[in-house]
Structure formats: structure tokens, C-alpha cells
Chain A
Amino acid sequence: MATEAFVTGIGQSQIGVRLERHPLLLTIDAIREALDESGLTLSDIDGLSTYPGKTAAPPGYSPVGTEDVMDALRLPIRWYSGGGEISSQLGAIVAAVAAVKADLARHVICFRTVYEAAALSRPQDYPQPRGNGRIDGFPQWVMPFNALSASNWIAQYAMKHVKKYGLTREQLAQIALTDRKHALLNPRALVREPLSMDQYLEARMISDPLCLYDCDRFTDASTVLIVSAGDALGDVKCRPVRIAASAHAAERYSWDQPDVMASYATGRELWKNTDYQPKDVDTVQFYDGFSFLALTWFESLGFCAPGEGGAFIEGGARIALDGELPMNTFGGQLGAGRLHGFGFAHEAIVQLRGLGGDRQIAGDPKVAIATSGGGPLATALLFARDM
């Protein structure tokens, strides 16, 4: 039985909006790149994991499921998993880690394919499913009040920060400004134009205190990581990166009942699961579908105290490529595109392997964190190049 799990290959399709290429082919593009890098072949792959599985709504949110991939490539699958009731996007990687440690699979392709920009541009191909017009589950508690966007739900927590701790727009801006600066150095990034503080401050507000540049936008892309068992690395030609720890915790599963989001409990939980400490971390790749979420991860993981996230990132020097804690070196979702969580894990591996090119951080980084989620959803992964 394997005692450790490693990321072997990583891959990514082109990143764009309104792409014409079939979403399954984008997925296979990313798989090909990951296989080429790892030295593995399709016949080595015996596991598949994705989030949130194939869904009809919203259109393009998740157009490719495990069955599409395993049948299209006739993969000899022994274990697979794809579903939304998991601790957020990177929970699909946590599931794969558990599978290889339990010897249910040796090499698991983990993928996330997003196609919302394309789907919305071609409603004849990707129609909005019609129900009875009524809503249930969690959305019933917010959507009747016209809070149709997650930006509205997250903004409630962000406003608490503004009022309780004095978070300023200039402080929060550093997430978007840093993302966009780093995206300029990533040839695949969706947005490759600089963003100035003046542009940020003049942007239209979406849901106070979040403005246009605090929100990611629909993107078409696929991202892949291959998770391999520690005793199955003989065929792997790239340098494996260990998944040293993972975590999820929440005080309560709810978007609107708790005082803080699940990232805080998750951050505390991560450090219980590893001997590494915050001071050991060379780079952080923090979920930023809304900029405020990335700010809360600095607090949640103990890089600063709750409420001090704004001051921690103020000015942006600390989280820049040459700063003491480089953040979202690929551009995050605000710069590189809405890869929906998987982009952060992908970039952690890029940096730990020294493959970042123009965006590679200095100093031979060995430890990185990637996160995903928002509200009650939260996953933290600690990657280490230490074996």
C-alpha cells in the first residue's frame, strides 16, 4: 500500500473565451500535456477524478464528466469519482490522494473543464435547462432576494471586514493588481493587459465592496493534474511533488449563517496535518474567484491575524513575484482566467518544479499551498518537493 501521494504530470489546454474547440478535446489537450510531462501513457491511467461532475446547468459550468473521458479514451479505470458534494474544486484532488493511498488506483487523472463563455455564446448548443421555475436547497434562502450571484454572498463577508477591520479598496485592490501583473508573464493567461490602481478605483461596483475587477469572468479551459501512488513512480520521468497535507473544516455548512467562511477552520486544520509551518511556505496560490477570498486565505492560514489581511497585502510588495510570499504567480483567476480552482494546484507544481519561465520565483522553492472554495466550501493543499 502506498503511504504517500505525488503529483506527477500537469497539463493545461489553451485558455480563452468563446472557444470553438470541443470541451472534451480541451480536456484531452490537457491530459496529453500531463502525460507527456510525466512519461506515463494512457494504459498507466487507472483512476479519474473531477469536480463537480457533468452538469447541465449552468450551461458550460461542467460540460465534461468522468464517463466522457474514460469512454473516449477507453481508459482501464479501476476507481473514479466526480461530484459537487465535496469540499470544493480541489476536493477532487483530495479524493484522488485517498484513492492512491488505499491502492484503489495507481495513477489518477484529476481534471476540471470549464466552458461557460463558449456555452453562453452558443445557447442553441448549450441551452438553459427549464425546470418548473422554482428553486430549492440553499439558493431558496438568497435568490428570492435577487442575490443571484455568489458575489452578493461573498460581499456580505467582505463588508464585515470593511466595517469591522477597516479594509480599504486600495488594500483589496492588491489582489487584482498582483494577479494582472503576474498574468503578463504567463503566455497562456486570459488577460494580458496591466491594471492600474486608478483603473481599479474607477471601476463600476458590482456588489459593494466588490468592483468589476474583484470578480473573475467566464473562461473556457481545462486543467489536469495526475496524482500517483508513491510506490508507482518508477515509470515517471518528471520530478514528482508530494502532496504533503490537505484539509477541510467548517464550523457550519452554510453560506449565510456563520460569522466567517470555512477557510478559517480549514486553515487551522491544515497545520494540524503537517509538520511544516507557515514560515516554510515559498509561494501561495489562493483561490480568487472573488479577490476577497484570497485575502481571507492569508488570514485563515495564519500568515497574518484575522482582520489584518488588508494591511498584510497593502502596497503589494509582499505578495509580488519577488516578494517574501509570492501569490498567484500565474495570474490567478482574475488574470489567467476562471480555471475554477485547479489553476492554483497546477501553478503550485509549476513553481516547485522550476518551470515558471518568466514568472518563476527565485530561491529554489520547495513548499507551496493551493486553495479553493468560498463560503462553506474550502480545501487547502500543501505541496512539498522533499522526497
Chain B
Amino acid sequence: MSGSRLLPQLGPDNRFFWTGGADGQLRLLQCEACDTFIHPPRPICPTCLSEAVAPRVVAGTGVIDSYTINRQKWHPAMEVPFVFARIAIDGAPGVILSTNIVGSPVDAVEIGDRVRVVFEQQDDVFLPLFEKVG
């Protein structure tokens, strides 16, 4: 699938997220006043309305919250099947990342499985994908 993915337009709000993987670290926006994680990133904390928000490195592990196995080729270059999943990120309460599960057969994925981030670079974007651990 590498090379054929649609990529995000990078800007002041999201550049840290999509390029943070250059050093292998997953980063999420966090409020410096009350520690709330803010995803998708916005320039204000929804809990305390502080504008002191900054990217923080998080563990890069998590749990599969849900998933689907996509089997439809939505364009000719798309390789199927693949797993599209929601990950509840460790240490960042309330944050879900939608992503792909890679490195295991599609039918080996289950809700509750533990996963860790692996980055896939395409152009200037480092996509946070996840693989099963253990």
C-alpha cells in the first residue's frame, strides 16, 4: 500500500502529529495546565480552555477498540484485504487513533489486542500504523 496513500495537508495544527514519527515517537497534543489530551489537535484545551497546549511524546502502545477488515478495492492500486482499526492510546485517556494493523494476518486481529506504533513514511508524512505485540 505504500506510495498509494492519500496524505494529509500539513499545517500549524497537525504538522507535529504527521511528522513526529521521523524520530520514531508518537506525539499527541496535551494541555500544559490540566494534562487533557486533545485529538484531533486544536489550539485550545476543551477541559479548561487553556491555550497552553503542546505536543507530548506518548508511549506508542495501545489497545484495539474496534476494527474492520476492508475487502473492497476502492481504487485499482489498493491492496486488499487490510485491517482498519481504532486504537485506544495508552496514557492518553479518551484519545482514539484510526489506523491500520500491519504485520499479522487480517483474521488474527481482535478487539482488546495490544498493539504498538510503527511508522511508515510516504513523502514528508510519517503514518502511525500499529502492529500486534506479544
Contacts and interface: CB of A to CB of B under 8 A. Distances in A.
Interface of A: 132-136, 138-149, 151-152, 155-160, 163, 204-210, 254, 256-257
21 contacts: A134-B7, A140-B8, A140-B14, A142-B84, A144-B125, A144-B127, A145-B98, A146-B82, A146-B84, A149-B74, A152-B84, A156-B66, A156-B85, A159-B67, A159-B68, A160-B65, A208-B71, A210-B68, A256-B86, A256-B96, A257-B95
B115 to A, nearest CB: 14
Interface string B1-42: 100011111110010000000000000000000000001100
Interface residues of B, number: 38
B68 A152 contact: yes
Interface of B: 1, 5-11, 14, 39-40, 65-72, 74-75, 78, 82, 84-86, 94-100, 110-111, 125, 127, 129
A58 B99 CA distance: 24
- The residue in B1, B70, B99, B111 that gathers the most chain A C-beta atoms within 10 A of its C-beta is B70
A144 B84 contact: no
A254 B70 CA distance: 21
Nearest to A212: B72
Contacts of B11: 136
Nearest to A157: B66
A151 B69 CA distance: 11
B6 A152 contact: no
A203 to B, nearest CB: 11
Contact of B68 (A136, A140, A155, A254): A155
Contact of A146 (B1, B9, B66, B95): B1
A107 B11 CA distance: 45
B111 to A, nearest CB: 5
Contact of B71 (A132, A144, A160, A207): A207
A205 B111 CA distance: 19
Contacts of B70: 146-147, 152, 155, 206-207
B68 A146 contact: no
Contacts of B66: 156-157, 159-160, 163
A208 B69 contact: yes
A209 B68 CA distance: 7
A256 B98 contact: yes
A contact patch SS: mixed
Contacts of A156: 66-68, 84-86, 98
A147 B9 contact: no
A144 B6 contact: yes
A148 to B, nearest CB: 4
Nearest to B11: A136
A146 B83 CA distance: 10
Given A145-B127, A146-B84, A257 B71 contact: no
Given A135-B7, A136-B8, A145-B129, 6 more contacts: A140-B8, A144-B8, A146-B1, A147-B70, A152-B84, A163-B110
B7 A207 contact: no
Given A149-B72, A204-B71, A208-B68, A144 B5 contact: yes
Contacts of A208: 68-69, 71
- The residue in A205, A207, A209 that gathers the most chain B C-beta atoms within 10 A of its C-beta is A207
A206 B71 CA distance: 5
Which 6 pairs from chain A and chain B are nearest by CB?
Answer: A155-B68, A134-B9, A140-B8, A136-B9, A208-B69, A156-B66
A135 B9 contact: yes
B102 to A, nearest CB: 10
Nearest to B1: A146
B7 to A, nearest CB: 6
Contacts of A159: 66-68, 111
A160 B9 contact: no
B72 to A, nearest CB: 5
A207 B83 CA distance: 9
Given A163-B111, A256-B86, A146 B71 contact: no
B130 to A, nearest CB: 10
Contacts of A147: 70, 84, 98
Nearest to B107: A208
A376 to B, nearest CB: 13
Contacts of A133: 6-7
B98 A141 contact: yes
- The residue in A135, A139, A146, A207 that gathers the most chain B C-beta atoms within 10 A of its C-beta is A146
- The residue in B5, B9, B111, B125 that gathers the most chain A C-beta atoms within 10 A of its C-beta is B9
Given A145-B100, A146-B74, A160 B111 contact: yes
